[in-house]
Amino acid sequence: MAVKFRQADWVEPLIFELSNEGRVGYQLPPLEPEINGSEDPLDLVPEALLRIKAPGLPEVSEIQVLRHYMHLSQMNYGVNSGKIYPLGSCTMKYNPVINEVLAAHPKILDVHPMQSDDSAQGILKILYNLKQYFLDITGMDDATLQPAAGAHGEWTGIMLMRAYHKDRGELGKRTEVVIPDSAHGTNPASAHMAGFKTVEIPSGPDGCVDLDALNAAVGPQTAGLMLTNPNTIGVFENQITEISKVIHDAGGLMYYDGANLNAIMGWCRPGDMGFDIIHSNLHKTFSTPHGGGGPGSGPVGVKKILAEYLPVPDIVEKGGKYRLNWGKPKSIGKVHGFHGNVNVALKAYTYMVTMGGEGLKESSELAVLNANYISRKLKGVKGYELTYDPLKPRKHEVVLSAGPMLNDTGVSALYVSKKLLDYGLHAPTTYFPMIVPEALMIEPTESEPVESLDAFIDAMKEINDLAYTNPEEVLSAPHNTAVTKLDEAKAAHPKTICLSWRRFCQLLQEGE
């Protein structure tokens, strides 16, 4: 294969290793004489708490800092700078530049969250409208924008479930949250953090919820069910109405994990499927950038019966004036120090009006088209298999199994992923969902032109051919990235674990 991609490799030192005593990268404006002369600032700190030893931060000039981080950025891969980012469940769609331009407006950046409502009418109106649009898309009655990420939203949602049962005096007996084995790992973790025991139910032969298994697991002890629809294999749970009925009949609540909302906007709404609580990831469906791990935003929508438990404050409108409402006696309290990731919410709002209602629907349709295009074009390729009812259309993502390839050649899903990096393509999510062996979870999103999809498909086919003819070339991947394959065990080993520069220096001294 001809080299099609080469990532920058700067062999960049740690910023601490660039330090030279006396250098500075920033200077503060001087104090005015009237302020400067009056008191020695060091007399203003109690002696016992005066910092004697300066923090061991690097001493570097501005250009060194800038170049250092520029070099590092070149050793990173973003959806806007790469070629395709088909990371399943993460909805890596285009992050529009105009969103960033508007989110850098001084009248959002320099606004303090405790300013008077009167002085923040613009941002309050944006948040209020965003909430309305979110309710419209999801079919819910009320929402909070406070959670700072999807998992934060999940936990907030389950805390609402908790408050609901508690309010009815049933929390003592409703101790279990039912979760399919195909669920995102955050689901059981969030339910546990909200104080519930989790009950896992096996998926049926079609990869969907097995109604018999569900019925067997549900009872008076059930607080609710957590489900994503379409589910993590990208298939629509078409028995969702029956599923909701089972849960509601047992007195439980339906929780919708909105990670996969990008598949269905304008086509169907979680609120109509019987869900009582949902979260959505603005950094997935609504185009806000993920920043290498965050900030995200995870608004939570609820049906009327749960609105009174939502976190405070709430944004309310009266006569065209917007204000924060703190008066909710049954609220679960605050889940964020202030009002959530407002700057992220602004980007999502910008995206929504850039697309409009119809544009959002078309986005979902094209996301689904793109995923199925990949699925159909890779059909029949020997090493990959579409498990769970291959005839069923997928939604926004398709999960292939590299099981046949592993069996035949010893090349696993991990190495397919690593080899894809050599083409300048990001890898799919691997080894998730757990119900698919050797899973490659592919979510191209609507942003990808068919040319990128074809490049991905061709690479997947070439890797398949290589696996069967020259597996060593796949197993030694990646070659064209900044670094080759890493020793992940060493990073976690108790003797060698090193999580800071401080520890690095200690280990050097100890000669490790």
Partner 1 sequence: MSKIHPYLPNSVPEIKDRMMEEMGISSIAELYSDIPDDLVYKGKLNIPGPLAEAEVKEHVAGLLETNATLMCMPFMGGGVWPHYVPSVVDEVVHRAEFLTSYTPYQPEISQGILQSVFEYQSHICELVGMDVANSSLYDWSSAVGEAALMSSRANKKTKVLVPDLMSPYRLSVLKTYTEPAGLAIEKVDHDEETGLMDLEDLKEKVDGDTTAVYIENPSYLGFVEENAEAVGEIAHEKDASFVVGVDPTSLGIIKAPGDYGADIVCGEGQPLGNHMSYGGPLLGIFACKHDNKYIRQMPGRIIGITETLKDQRRAFVMTLQTREQHIRREKATSNICSNEALCAVAAGVYLSLLGPKGMKELGETILSRARYAQRKIGELSGVKAPIFSSYHFKEFTVNFQHNTLKEINKALDAKHIQAGIPLKSQFPEFGETSLFCVTEVHSKKNIDALVSTLKEALE
Q: Which of residues 236-275 bind partner 1 (CB under 8 A)?
A: 236, 238, 240-241, 264-269, 272-273
Tokens of 26: 């920033």
Stretch that binds partner 1, among 212-220, 301-309, 337-345, 464-472 (CB under 8 A): 337-345
Does residue 411 touch partner 1 according to CB under 8 A? no
Does residue 509 touch partner 1 according to CB under 8 A? no
250 vs 421, which CB is nearer to partner 1? Answer: 421
Tokens of 470: 């020259």
Burial per residue of 340-373, b for 16 or more beta-carbon CB atoms within 10 angstroms, e otherwise: bbbbbbbbbbbbbeebeeeebbebbbbbbebbbb
Judge whether 286 and 352 are in contact, CB under 8 Å.
yes
Does residue 472 touch partner 1 according to CB under 8 A? no
Interface residue with partner 1, options 310, 427, 436, 463 (CB under 8 A)? 427
76 vs 407, which CB is nearer to partner 1? Answer: 76
64 vs 468, which CB is nearer to partner 1? Answer: 64
Among 389, 396, 395, 386, which residue's Cα sits nearest to residue 204? 389
Tokens of 431: 């080894």
Does residue 510 touch partner 1 according to CB under 8 A? no
Does residue 143 touch partner 1 according to CB under 8 A? no
Interface residue with partner 1, options 84, 140, 143, 149 (CB under 8 A)? 149
For partner 1, the binding residues in 346-375 under the rule CB under 8 A are: 346, 349-350, 352-363, 365-366, 368-370, 372-373
> What is the spatial distance between Cα 232 and Cα 229, in angstroms, rounded to a whole number?
8
Judge whether 462 and 446 are in contact, CB under 8 Å.
no
403 vs 424, which CB is nearer to partner 1? Answer: 424
Does residue 497 touch partner 1 according to CB under 8 A? yes
Report, in Å, the least distance between residue 332 CB and partner 1: 6
Location of structure tokens 């603005």: 282
Does residue 3 touch partner 1 according to CB under 8 A? no
Does residue 2 touch partner 1 according to CB under 8 A? no
Long-range Cβ contacts of 127-131 (<8 Å, 24+ apart) = 127/315, 127/339, 127/342, 127/345, 127/349, 128/315, 128/317, 128/322, 129/349, 130/345, 130/348, 130/349, 130/352, 131/299, 131/315
Interface residue with partner 1, options 337, 380, 509, 511 (CB under 8 A)? 337
CA 199 to centroid of chain Cα atoms: 24
80 vs 325, which CB is nearer to partner 1? Answer: 80
Which residues make beta-bridge pairs with 439? 401
> What is the spatial distance between Cα 312 and Cα 329, in angstroms, rounded to a whole number?
9
For partner 1, the binding residues in 301-330 under the rule CB under 8 A are: 311, 326
Among 274, 183, 249, 173, which residue's Cα sits nearest to residue 199? 183
Interface residue with partner 1, options 410, 491, 508, 512 (CB under 8 A)? 491
Report, in Å, the least distance between residue 173 CB and partner 1: 16
Stretch that binds partner 1, among 17-25, 211-219, 300-308, 462-470 (CB under 8 A): 17-25
Among 203, 193, 192, which residue's Cα sits nearest to residue 239? 203
For partner 1, the binding residues in 64-93 under the rule CB under 8 A are: 65-66, 68-70, 72-81, 85, 87, 90, 92
Interface residue with partner 1, options 1, 4, 36, 330 (CB under 8 A)? 36
Report, in Å, the least distance between residue 175 CB and partner 1: 11
316 vs 491, which CB is nearer to partner 1? Answer: 491
Tokens of 260: 């996969």
> What is the spatial distance between Cα 139 and Cα 467, in angstroms, rounded to a whole number?
47
Interface residue with partner 1, options 296, 301, 383, 403 (CB under 8 A)? 296
Does residue 291 touch partner 1 according to CB under 8 A? yes
- Strand order of the β-sheet with 385-386 is 385-386, 398-401, 439-442, 429-430
Examine residue 230 and say whether the peptide bond preceding it is cis (omega within 30 degrees of 0): yes
For partner 1, the binding residues in 170-229 under the rule CB under 8 A are: 184-186, 188-196, 198
Number of residues that bind partner 1 (CB under 8 A): 212
Interface residue with partner 1, options 202, 220, 294, 390 (CB under 8 A)? 294
- The pattern of x and - marking residues 89 through 128 that bind partner 1 according to CB under 8 A reads -x-x-xxx-x-xxx-xx-xxxxxxxxxx-xxxxxx-xx--
Judge whether 339 and 311 are in contact, CB under 8 Å.
no
Interface residue with partner 1, options 83, 131, 152, 303 (CB under 8 A)? 152
